A and B are shown apart, each in its own frame.
Chain A
Amino acid sequence: MAIFSKEEAKKILEKVLSYSKADGCEANLNGSNGGNIRYARNSVSTAGESSDVTLAVQSYYGKKSGVATINEFDDASLEKVVRRAEELAQLAPENPEFVEPLTQQAYGESKTYVEATAKITPEYRAQAAANSINPAAAKDVTAAGYLEDSNNFTSMMNTKGLFAYNKSTGVTFTVTMRSNDGTGSGWVTRDYNDVTKLDTVEASNIAIDKALQSRNAKAIEPGKYTVILEPAASAELLRNMLFGMNARTADEGRSFMSKKGGGTKMGEKIMDERVTIYTDPWNVEVPASPWTGDGQARKKMDIIKNGVVSNLFYDRFWASKQNVAPVPFPGNAIMEGGTASVEDMIKDTKKGILVTRFWYIRSVDPQTQLYTGLTRDSTFFIENGKIKHPVKNFRFNESPVIMLNNLETLGKQVRVSVDGGPGGGANFLIPYMKLRDFTFTSLSDAV
């Protein structure tokens, strides 16, 4: 029931707009069916399903706007929600940055929906938990994990004639395996639109192996090290850097994209020329909705090309003020990789650290994009081309901009979701990376 077809959504939205008496009206009708299972201490702790459809109506008079929402769709309810949005719009102060809705846009075909994911059952989720718990218990390891799946639709229509519809599915799986002696921990994350690509047995076994291999880690001195970052380790840092590429804050002088003396770094080379990051809603590994929440069409676009800033993101208000075309925030990001496997990278490393993931990453200085955080769930010391032993976790203080200037080798790409949860996170395709002079500032006893 929570998933309306394109025709059903269109019919409801047309009805909504027929009740509008304001200068204009825009309505978003979104719904999802989802399920999850959570386990810890080798036992299932919670499991559930949820279903939700919400209609949000925004009415406006001049530059005054109001939003009301409802989850009932009979004619009386639809009229009620429009009247409420109009009441709230009349009460609102004028917003000088209000921008009228868009007219109809041309959108490409979506690749975000996979039928198999929409058909995930409670039994599938229970089996995923069992696929972690059973092998863990057999190897004196304790599993804690979470699987969440969703089947979503989004649609919108406005009084300027725009209509857009998209369906999507997603599944996210993470599992932490801890050795029962308390000295080792491994972790794996997987995220797909298509559940047939998810192998919870393989993923769980990787985490178990890491838990066992990372037991009894040795302390080594913090300092600058060559690192090999698994894609899950660099994902959040790259996401944060991309979030910082907002044109308005850059123009205002309060961004790492602002230039000394005024202006922005648009068109400037800010990192190694092998760094190319772009967005492409039609990439088969990380498909994204062809349109944004306000109806703008997404397109394939460079963000960083050969180390040079190719685009900053302009919302519609700031674009009109600066007299440029809007550049919507991307629905995904793809960093070009290389051919090296992680084994190749280890073989070519004289002395370095292999990082599974970073944790608790927080901004320290937005001026330089400096972040702090810690390694977690398996960190290894590499010497003369071989993994020598697990090492205790480090705290780092590093900027993704400095990091991408210190690039040594690009490896194979892997899909990673940041801020997981299907539909809620941002999907990235990120290569394994080998980087020199990564700054670790202290040691942690955490396992």
Chain B
Amino acid sequence: MGAAATLLPGIPVMGHPIHPERALEVIDQAWKKQMSDVALNAARSNGATYTDVRIGRYLQQFVVTREDKVQNIVNTESFGMGIRVIANGGWGFAATDKLDKDNVAKTAELAVAIAKENSRLLTEPVRLAPQKGYGEVTWKAPIEKNAFAVPIKEKVDLLLNVNSAAMKSGADYVNSILFMVNEQKYFASTDGTYVDQDIHRIWPIFFVTKVDKESGKFETRNALSAPMGMGYEYLDARPQDKIQGVTTLYRGRYDMLEDAKVAGQQVGEKIKAKSVEPGKYDLILDPSHLWLTIHESVGHPTELDRVLGYEANYAGTSFLTLDKWESKKFNFGSKMVNIVADKTQVGSLGAVGYDDEGVKCGQWDVIKDGILVNYQVIRDQAHILGLNASQGCCYADNWSSVQFQRMSNISLQPGKDKKSVDDLIKGVEKGIYIIGDGSFSIDQQRYNFQFGGQLFYEIKNGKITNMLNDVAYQSNSQEFWNSCVAIADAGDYRLGGSFFDGKGQPGQVSAVSHGCSTSRFNGVNVINTSRKIG
């Protein structure tokens, strides 16, 4: 296999391979401040009216296996500096991986020159929301176990044991992967902020397949894990983190071995499951599934850059236009639908102390009692909403990428009344209980969507009866959220999320979580997805 072909197809791998132990080295904070000051001063003396500097060290470790084989181990480091400036009212950006004083100063000069060139095409100058300087501050994700300090052999053993457990319980094929990311980000700006941050993320995932040679049918069952803003402790499952029901679900910690064993059995049940009768059903959606519906139908349409048209040529625009927000009565969902943006949620993928333009992060309402009340905003957009501060939604996926508006953690708040999942199911006459995320698709303005899942259980007269197959539901975002009639209480609240959410041209990825409790949606259109191709 050629060297270039050994990385993972379809997965954004950044940086240069390193020895695993090098990931544990720490870069001196005083040196980062010194280099940042070189850039800030050089930009200012060349005519910049605002400058921010990001020195980023982005570490990735991916362990990839199938059945009894290790297919790939990726250890990479990407290190460098991105400098963003405003000059003559326009943005300019330049980046370098050669961090000596001369080169940093030259890169700052280049950023200013680009800003001046771009300013000639401007229709109006950039208006930045004011931001106070915080001085020298730090933020560290509250992890218990640095995944990069765990020996690779331990990770390989875990995945091979996971694969073996799935095969023993009935699977024919298993692919499993551990994704681990550490972002060490230093930010400095002419506002007087110097922030050093240490961010960790982890995602264990597997795909279990069974083939019935006689019928020619095959099915897969994916892991019910969530990507998390945590260390390796996410894989230390404790009894109190398990939710027992029709299948075992996980909150905050994950038992990969146990889930693989169950998946090996369930994938066989999926092959034999009854094909769904299309029609209207009441849906009970588990957080391992509903996070993705929240992501697509609430998270993306409330991004202000989409609303304004900056993504029109790629990801699209949004049905949540400014007039709907200005009316203060746009009925996004039923009265029990409260959706909050929160960049500080512990354990979430999007949790940081400060965003990539030096704004201290917080939380705010997006949908309040069913009404659209706010968007997700960065510094040069705040004035459009009449805000005098950014909400801290700026992010770049690398030191060499320009930061722009990215999705905050966006979560459905749990129900206020005490209500369990069983309570939700009890009231359903004809319904489907959906667990795990599957196929997903939504239009460019976020009206019409279709979602699949991993496990589907038919509900008849308040009871789960049998497993179903070939299920997908279609709806319209506003109709769907208005059909929300019950949300389980905080005891059921869990996070799901996207590890590689794509946006922008050139494309960038980001990681974001979505929390919720199990929820009920009435009268949703379910289609049957089985076909025959001969």
Q: Which residues of A are in contact with B by a Cβ distance under 8 Å?
A: 26-28, 30, 36, 38, 40-48, 50, 56-58, 65-71, 84, 87-88, 91-93, 95-99, 101, 122, 126, 129, 142, 144-146, 148, 156, 174-176, 178, 187, 252-254, 256, 258-262, 270, 292-295, 316, 359-370, 372-374, 376, 393, 395, 397, 399, 401-402, 421, 441-447
Contact = CB atoms under 8 A, between A and B. Distances in A.
A379 to B, nearest CB: 12
A291 to B, nearest CB: 10
Contacts of B16: 68-71
Nearest to A393: B443
B529 A270 contact: no
Nearest to B507: A421
Interface string B452-479: 1000000000000000001010101000
Interface of B: 1-6, 16-17, 19-20, 69-71, 73, 75, 91, 93, 97, 114, 117-118, 121-123, 152, 156, 172-173, 209, 211, 213-218, 308-314, 316-317, 319, 400, 402, 439-448, 450, 452, 470, 472, 474, 476, 505-506, 525, 527, 529-534
Given A46-B402, A58-B6, A362-B439, A445 B123 contact: no
7 contacts: A47-B114, A71-B97, A92-B73, A261-B216, A359-B443, A360-B443, A364-B452
A116 to B, nearest CB: 23
B114 to A, nearest CB: 7
Nearest to A87: B19
A178 B213 contact: no
Given A58-B2, A258-B218, A374-B444, 17 more contacts: A36-B506, A66-B17, A88-B19, A92-B73, A99-B1, A144-B313, A254-B172, A258-B211, A261-B213, A293-B2, A360-B443, A370-B531, A372-B441, A397-B450, A442-B450, A442-B525, A444-B447
Across the A-B interface, the 4 shortest Cβ-Cβ residue pairs: A260-B216, A294-B2, A444-B448, A58-B3
A265 to B, nearest CB: 9
Contacts of B69: 95-97
B145 to A, nearest CB: 21
Contacts of B214: 260-261
A252 B311 CA distance: 41
Given A28-B3, A421-B506, A446 B445 contact: yes
A362 B3 contact: no
A101 B443 contact: no
A294 B211 contact: no
A365 B448 contact: no
A95 B70 contact: yes
Contacts of B1: 58, 65, 98-99, 294, 316
B228 to A, nearest CB: 24
Contact of A253 (B2, B91, B213, B445): B213
B314 A146 contact: yes
A68 B17 contact: yes
Given A365-B531, A397-B527, A359 B444 contact: yes
A48 B2 contact: no
